[in-house]
Amino acid sequence: MTNPHPSAATDGAPARPVQQATVQSAVPQPLEGTAAAEIAATVTRLRGAFAAGRTKPIGWRRAQLRQLQRMLVDERPALEKALLADLGKSPVEAHTTEIGFVANEIEHTLRHLSSWLRPRRVPVPLSLAPARARTVREPLGTVLIISPWNYPVNLSLAPLVGALAAGNAAVLKPSELAPATAAVLAELLPRHLDPEAVAVVEGGVPESTALLEQHFDHIFYTGNAQVARVVMAAAVKHLTPLTLELGGKSPAVVEPGVDLAATARRLAWGKFTNAGQTCVAPDYVLAIGDTADTLQRELAAAVTEMFGEDPAASGDYGRIVNERHFDRLTALLDSGTVVTGGGHSREDFYIAPTVLGDVSADSAVMAEEVFGPILPVVRVPDLDAAIAFVNERDKPLALYAFTGSEHTKRRLLTETSSGGVGFGLPVAHLAVPGLPFGGVGESGMGAYHSVASIDTFSHTKSVLDKPLRPDTMRLAYAPVTGFKEKMLRRFL
């Protein structure tokens, strides 16, 4: 979710109003009365627009993308203000991890859209000649995008870019846990995009439940695995295909012999951006051999270098989204020895960038995805132990490794499974336009970004075009004579 260049410092700590926790339940909560009827009417309106062919012309798709691009420029102050209120993000971080990221995605999509949508010719076997075959992409229809709170602009609009580029109508349901950003998106998107084909539905679990009762042609959900199971169960009713962008415990393997100071800086950057609330952030470190002690010292130095002696006063350091997540994270702080950090303030949802040493595999911080600014360091004796440690757990969204050995890289690629891999730099594979992003197993299914978004939000239709004359199919028609059988067996 971020740009590979660390943000420049700004003066003063981010200030934002205290947001009360909103519990996201995995249990569906029905929405009754007028609100439910309005949601149903919204979906019906969008389905009608798609059925009328409104969204299919490439000119309409390009126009929507340009309008969205213009919105990011013209409405930047409003988006930055909302991100500061929800997550304490500085304007620079808001640009590199949210607004600028989506703008780059749009630019890349506009540049390549024509080639992505072009029909692809496919060879025809001699037995069917003369004929022509091709594949043609067609939009799926009306899609639902349910976005999370941690990157509420990026993870709302990046999937929307793909949905619009593929020619779909779309309903966006932003997270209620980032209420300021949700409100801004609900205000801005209908003003800048075609309101007959794009809608925003605000609200919590009841609104999400009402949306999931509707018939969509694709559901794109980003969030946790518990809610993903509810979304998947709802999709069964209409046999709706879906994309699940989830998370997991993404490990970072550190081998002896690497530059531990540089490794620590990159780990600290990848982990503590957005106060650790990043689905692909390094969740824990597997320190091989005798690297742990030196690495921990370098991590402490890197935190000070990036955020100062008091990260609470740094304009580059964010805040935890709400009380519930704050309480969950602070309960993990006694899972090991505090190397650096550990300080926290419930009043403004601040938890210092924290590195934990002497962490055991069965400690509380290793039992769940951290999703916050706490980095456990686990000691393992060798690469075999590191690979075994990873494979004993659910498949992560990403795996990172700091090593100078090509042999180690090959082993990690072939002997572990993860959504993505980063050697020498965490998180930044998301910033490579041509790389698809997605998980595997418990970390998700499906992928997006670049042409992968077109794949996700399109159906690839197979087309065979064979003329009636000459009728070369006579050989296949009954009755099957001895000569026909001989020829069929030879050519088919």
Confidence label for 35 from pLDDT (cuts 50, 70 and 90): confident
Predicted confidence at residue 17, as pLDDT, reads 41
Comparing 21-25, 212-216, 259-263, 415-419, the range with the smallest average pLDDT is: 21-25
Predicted confidence at residue 214, as pLDDT, reads 97
Query: Nearest 5 degrees, angle CA 42-CA 193-CA 46?
Result: 25
Give the percent of the chain with pLDDT over 70: 93
Residue labelled with tokens 């490579």: 432
How far is the C-alpha of 330 from the C-alpha of 148, rounded, in Å? 22
Q: What is the mean pLDDT of the chain?
A: 93
Confidence label for 465 from pLDDT (cuts 50, 70 and 90): very high
Predicted confidence at residue 25, as pLDDT, reads 52
Mean pLDDT of all residues in 322-345: 97
The answer on pLDDT for 480 being more than 50 is: yes
The answer on pLDDT for 45 being more than 90 is: yes
Predicted confidence at residue 30, as pLDDT, reads 67
Query: Which string of DSSP letters, residue by residue, matches 266-334?
Result: HHHHHHHGGGG--TTS--EEEEETT-HHHHHHHHHHHHHHHH-S-GGG-TT----S-HHHHHHHHTTGG
Confidence label for 18 from pLDDT (cuts 50, 70 and 90): very low
Residue 245 annotated as catalytic: yes
Q: Which of 279, 298, 369, 442 is catalytic?
A: 279
Predicted confidence at residue 31, as pLDDT, reads 64
The answer on pLDDT for 32 being more than 70 is: no
Length of the chain, please?
A: 492
The closest alpha carbon to 105, from 472, 454, 466, belongs to: 454
Mean pLDDT of all residues in 193-210: 97
Instruction: Please give the model's pTM, rounded to 2 decimal places.
Output: 0.92
In angstroms, how far is the first alpha carbon of the chain from the final one? 50
More confident residue, 15 or 344: 344
The answer on pLDDT for 7 being more than 60 is: no
More confident residue, 47 or 489: 47
The answer on pLDDT for 131 being more than 50 is: yes
Q: Which of 75, 80, 93, 245 is catalytic?
A: 245
Residue 347 annotated as catalytic: no
- H or E stretch including 102? helix 100-117
Q: How far is CA 355 from CA 26, 132, 295, in A?
A: 31, 61, 10
The tokens of 408 are what?
């180690």
Comparing 28-37, 364-373, 442-451, the range with the smallest average pLDDT is: 28-37
Q: How far is CA 193 from CA 71, 164, 169, 442, in A?
A: 9, 10, 11, 34
Q: Are 10 and 316 in contact (CB under 8 A)?
A: yes
Instruction: Write out pLDDT tens, residues 114-125.
Output: 999 999 999 999
132-139 and 458-465 beta bridge pairing? antiparallel
